[in-house]
Amino acid sequence: MLVLTAYTPTSFAAELKNENARQEGNCLVLTYDLDGREKDVQVHLTFTVEGRIYQASELHVEGDVGKVKTGAEKRISWNILKDFPRGLHGSVEWELTTTQDALKDPITGMQMLFIKGGCFQMGDTFGDGESDEKPVHEVCVSDFYMGQYEVTQGQWKAVMGNNPARFPNCGGNCPVENVSWTDVQEFIRRFNARNGKSYRLPTEAEWEYAARSGGKGEKWAGTSSELSLGNYAWYNKNSGRKTHPVGQKQPNGLGLYDMSGNVWEWCADRYGEKYYSQSPKNNPEGASFGSDRVPRGGSWYYHAPSARTSYRGRRSPTQKGSNLGFRLVLTQ
């Protein structure tokens, strides 16, 4: 017997209506209407089963999920017994969301997705992290936009006129790397001067909230199962010791790609080993003192634990490397 619980997300460019769930034999069937001015909308579906979050792509799910045409009477079917042969005897929580229209920069083509702010438990919620990921504490972040992809070599070259990457043969759609935190600040300065906006690096709190699909209990961006991590991230077991073009793996629940793996992503914050014990609740910005900065997300070179959403790196702001890159955010 299943007890079905639906989360009702806030809708923006497209609106989900008339969401319903019912059991048909071995299947859980979800139906909904999709209103919006767009012809096609990206629809994301997650299930929480016994405290673990599953993306639709990890389960035997068929129907109107992924790229969906707007209209009425959409249908999704999940064959439960193919994934849980012994059946389920507890609650199943499900959530349908849509990806907000991307803001697209005319200079670089950089796409920014709207991230609805909220509160979440930041830090090592799984209990196997490092000491600087503790204590777990409640944090709230305001609305912001975040790059759907890591900044690419082509985008860097469009602004800076050069390509510092150590994997230039990977191509213009591969993440730019070998850039220091200081280099990124100069990129941001020039980029903002050309577009009149205020792009910046994300705070650690914004980054972790977005990586965890809006503060959900995800160990990696998009999944909590190491067995499925290769579907979402390029890391040491599947990367072939190199970077890869952005967006080739599956996105997390917010439509963000490569939040785990491919390249480390610089954050704005100064590193503070004990900062979590004194962090403010609302929009924390990191330690007040210290020179080192924080990269997040792991990379093609590192193992799975470093790609966890709560893992905190520590680097000098002048340090460069073939696995250090970034993505940008824009305050709404």
CATH class of 3-98: mainly beta
CA 121 to mean position of chain CA atoms: 16
Angle at 322 between CA 317 and CA 327, to 5 degrees: 65
Query: Helices marked H in 39-86 — which ranges?
Result: 80-83
Average pLDDT over every residue of 301-318: 98
Structure confidence at residue 40 as a pLDDT band (50, 70, 90): confident
| Contact by Cβ (8 Å): 300, 243 | yes
Both tokens of 253, joined, read 């629940």
Average pLDDT of the chain to the nearest whole number: 92
- Please list, in sequence order, all residues whose beta carbon lies within 8 angstroms of the beta carbon of residue 153, skipping any fewer than 6 positions away: 163, 165, 168, 170, 171, 172, 173, 174, 175, 176
pLDDT at 8: 40
Measured on CA atoms in the order 157, 160, 162, 166, is the torsion positive or negative? negative
Structure confidence at residue 56 as a pLDDT band (50, 70, 90): confident
CA distance 54 to 6: 14
Per-residue pLDDT at 1 exceeds 50: no
Exposed e or buried b for every residue in 283-321, given b needs 16+ CB within 10 A? ebebbeeeebbbbbbbbbbbebebbbbbbbbebeeeebb
- Please list, in sequence order, all residues whose beta carbon lies within 8 angstroms of the beta carbon of residue 245, skipping any fewer than 6 positions away: 170, 171, 173, 174
Per-residue pLDDT at 36 exceeds 90: no
Least confident of 1-5, 12-16, 204-208, 215-219: 1-5
pLDDT at 53: 74
CATH class of 103-331: alpha beta
CATH 2.60.40 in the chain: give the residue spans.
3-98
What does the pLDDT look like over 66-125, one tens digit per residue? 889 999 999 999 999 999 998 887 778 888 888 655 688 888 999 999 898 999 999 999
Per-residue pLDDT at 50 exceeds 90: no
Alpha carbon of 237 to those of 17, 226, 227: distances in Å? 41, 11, 11
Whole-structure pTM value: 0.78
Both tokens of 129, joined, read 């992290």
H or E stretch at 270:
strand 264-270
Residue with more model confidence, 30 or 36 = 30
Per-residue pLDDT at 276 exceeds 50: yes
Percent of the chain with pLDDT over 90: 77
Question: Going by DSSP bridges, is the β-strand pair 264-270/293-296 parallel, antiparallel, or unpaired?
Answer: antiparallel
| Contact by Cβ (8 Å): 183, 201 | no
CATH 3.90.1580.10 in the chain: give the residue spans.
103-331
Least confident of 7-21, 90-104, 123-137, 202-216: 7-21
Structure confidence at residue 302 as a pLDDT band (50, 70, 90): very high
| Contact by Cβ (8 Å): 169, 245 | no
Per-residue pLDDT at 212 exceeds 90: yes
